[in-house]
């Protein structure tokens, strides 16, 4: 049967295996989806990005814990980033370096990169003093963690650059490829597209279905809320994203200046909400970054939901409840009282879907583990509801850098000087 593909091209594709995929080009709603179709050409993307970056300088931010320094995953990232030609700067926020030798080790490790990255010593004396300055002025930087790390890295970028693109990705990505970074930056760097925020997405599959927080918490929770409250733009917006909890995003400098960055595990959901407050849907897109993605997996910790995935799930659920409340949804006691049971029923239906999906693809499906995760997430939702009840009007989004600049005009220059001295 004729295929419309030249015979020579068919011969080229016959040995491509998993690189030759059935095209998924589905668009849903007002958030543009940029798919990964056919065989990637990283060289083309990087050549064009190098040209774009003259007018739109690109900064990469890496939130890193000192425990990740020297791991196989970060080694792979360093090797790939060394080959990236279009980055103007790399800023690495270092958490957990409570000893000078840990800081020195991190500086030596990242110093191998030809881009000469700038490191931020979040546990050093200069940064601690700056955190105190923020707190005393009413701009609590939040507890140590990825959220605070990303926020202070944004501040460092803004202290040195007024326009351009900021990209963020984690330091625990396994089998990293620089294609991830190129596909994340390209939509914003392109001079004619008009995108100002890009969210990364990908498949999460190993010998089984991964991505438990998205599959078993976020998706059924959003479905449950949608069935119990009136049509709501906040829910519809979140449901447009293929992987709302991915750690990869890119945004322009102005959005980074105006958006508040949550300081706990609600970082990804909170950032999506902040972006929606500042940008029209047409300026937001999502980009498929790679065929499959893996990173360090966190323990479920079913016996202690203040740790591991339990802590993350509680923060995420609380962030969703508060954000819906901010947007005018009636999060009353009647809705919340029945929410955990309704979520459990919806999640149970998801388990049936995932079991079938795993079976047809020959994947493992540990049903007992999946059910344990759902049971744990029910407790997390109840914990989030309890926190909401204690302080329903709490605002967990820190002030933006634009507000900090207005109140403390010397702060960002002081931050830049502290970072310079720590890197000297």
Query: Is residue 19 pLDDT above 50, yes or no?
Result: no
CATH number at residue 135: 3.90.550.10
SS3 letters for 204-267? CECCEECCHHHHHHHHHHHHHHHHHCCCCHHHHHHHCCCCCCCCCEEEEHHHHHHCCCCCCCCH
pLDDT category of residue 17 using cuts at 50, 70 and 90: very low
| Buried b or exposed e, range 365-383, using 16+ CB within 10 angstroms | beeeebeebbebbbebbbb
- Give residue 166's pLDDT: 98
Number of domains in the chain: 1
Average pLDDT over residues 330-354: 88
Query: Is residue 59 pLDDT above 80, yes or no?
Result: yes
- Give residue 397's pLDDT: 66
Dist CA 106 CA 63 (whole Å): 12
pLDDT category of residue 21 using cuts at 50, 70 and 90: very low
Residue 81 lies in a domain: yes
Q: Which of 156, 179, 159 is nearest to 169 (CA)?
A: 179
Query: Is residue 13 pLDDT above 60, yes or no?
Result: no
Q: What SS3 class is residue 250?
A: strand
Residue 211 lies in a domain: yes
What's the residue count for the chain?
Answer: 424
Average pLDDT over residues 198-210: 93
Residue with the bigger pLDDT between 301 and 422: it is 422
Average pLDDT over residues 182-191: 98
Instruction: Find residue 249's DSSP bridge partners.
Output: 168, 199
Question: What pTM, to 2 d.p., does this model score?
Answer: 0.90
- Give residue 90's pLDDT: 98
| Containing structural domain, residue 358 | 24-423
Average pLDDT over residues 55-83: 96
pLDDT digits (tens, 9 = 90+) for 126-148: 999 999 999 999 998 888 999 99
Strands 197-201 and 249-252: antiparallel
Residue 347 lies in a domain: yes
Q: Which of 31-40, 303-312, 408-417 has the lowest mean pLDDT?
A: 303-312
- Give residue 257's pLDDT: 96
Query: Is residue 266 pLDDT above 60, yes or no?
Result: yes
Q: Which of 50-54, 114-118, 363-367, 396-400 has the lowest mean pLDDT?
A: 396-400
According to DSSP H, which parts of 32-177 are helical? 42-52, 72-81, 100-110, 125-136, 146-160
* Residue 188 token pair: 């914003």
- Give residue 12's pLDDT: 37
pLDDT category of residue 6 using cuts at 50, 70 and 90: very low
Residue 4 lies in a domain: no
Q: What angle do CA 313, 374, 242 make, to 5 degrees?
A: 60
**19-33, 89-103, 291-305, 317-331 — most confident range:** 89-103
Average pLDDT over residues 118-130: 97
According to DSSP H, which parts of 253-304 are helical? 253-258, 267-278
Instruction: State in Å, rounded, how far the first CA of the chain is from the last one.
Output: 67
Q: Which of 8-12, 101-105, 148-152, 287-291 has the lowest mean pLDDT?
A: 8-12
Q: Which of 195, 196, 184 is nearest to 87 (CA)?
A: 184
Query: Is residue 22 pLDDT above 80, yes or no?
Result: no
Q: What SS3 class is residue 200?
A: strand
225 alpha-carbon distance from chain centroid: 23
Residue 7 lies in a domain: no
pLDDT category of residue 30 using cuts at 50, 70 and 90: confident
Phi and psi, residue 351, nearest 5°: -60, -40
Residue 17 lies in a domain: no
Residue 321 lies in a domain: yes
Residue 14 lies in a domain: no
Q: Which of 257, 230, 38, 78 is nearest to 160 (CA)?
A: 257
Query: Is residue 327 pLDDT above 90, yes or no?
Result: no
pLDDT digits (tens, 9 = 90+) for 72-110: 999 999 999 999 999 999 999 999 999 999 999 999 999
Q: What does pLDDT average to over the chain?
A: 89
């Amino acid at each position: 049967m004729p295929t419309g593909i030249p015979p020579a091209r068919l011969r080229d594709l016959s040995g491509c295996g998993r690189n030759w995929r059935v095209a998924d080009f589905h668009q849903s709603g007002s958030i543009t989806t940029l798919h990964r179709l056919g065989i990637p050409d990283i060289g083309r993307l990087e050549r064009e990005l190098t040209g774009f970056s003259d007018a739109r300088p690109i900064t990469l931010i890496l939130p890193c814990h000192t425990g990740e320094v020297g791991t196989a995953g970060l080694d792979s990232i360093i090797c790939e980033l060394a080959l990236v030609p279009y980055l103007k700067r790399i800023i690495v926020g270092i958490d957990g370096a409570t000893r000078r030798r840990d800081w020195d080790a991190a500086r030596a490790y990242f110093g191998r990169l030809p881009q000469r990255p700038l490191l931020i010593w979040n546990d050093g004396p200069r940064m601690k003093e700056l955190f105190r300055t923020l707190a005393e002025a009413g701009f609590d930087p939040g507890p140590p963690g990825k959220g605070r790390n990303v926020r202070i890295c944004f501040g460092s970028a803004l202290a040195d650059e007024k326009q351009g693109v900021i990209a963020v990705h984690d330091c625990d990505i396994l089998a990293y490829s620089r294609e991830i970074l190129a596909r994340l930056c390209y939509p914003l760097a392109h001079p004619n597209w008009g995108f100002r925020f890009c969210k990364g997405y990908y498949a999460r599959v190993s010998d089984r279905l991964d991505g438990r927080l998205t599959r078993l918490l976020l998706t059924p929770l959003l479905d449950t809320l949608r069935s119990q409250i009136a049509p709501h733009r906040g829910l519809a917006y979140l449901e447009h994203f293929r992987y709302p909890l991915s750690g990869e995003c890119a945004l322009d400098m102005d959005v980074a200046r105006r958006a508040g960055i949550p300081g706990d595990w609600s970082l990804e959901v909170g950032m999506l909400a902040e972006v929606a407050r500042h940008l029209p849907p047409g300026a937001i897109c999502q980009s498929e970054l790679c065929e499959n993605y893996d990173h360090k997996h966190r323990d479920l910790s079913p016996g202690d939901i203040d740790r591991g995935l339990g802590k993350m799930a509680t923060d995420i659920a609380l962030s969703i409840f508060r954000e819906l409340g901010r947007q005018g949804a009636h999060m009353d006691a009647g809705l919340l009282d029945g929410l955990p049971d309704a979520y459990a029923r919806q999640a149970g239906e998801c388990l049936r879907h995932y079991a079938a999906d795993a079976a047809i693809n020959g994947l493992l499906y540990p049903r007992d583990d999946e059910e344990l995760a759902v049971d744990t997430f029910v407790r997390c939702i109840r914990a989030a509801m309890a926190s909401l009840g204690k302080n329903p009007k709490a605002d967990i989004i820190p002030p933006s850098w634009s507000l900090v600049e207005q109140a403390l005009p010397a702060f960002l220059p002081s931050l830049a000087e502290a970072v310079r001295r720590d890197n000297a």
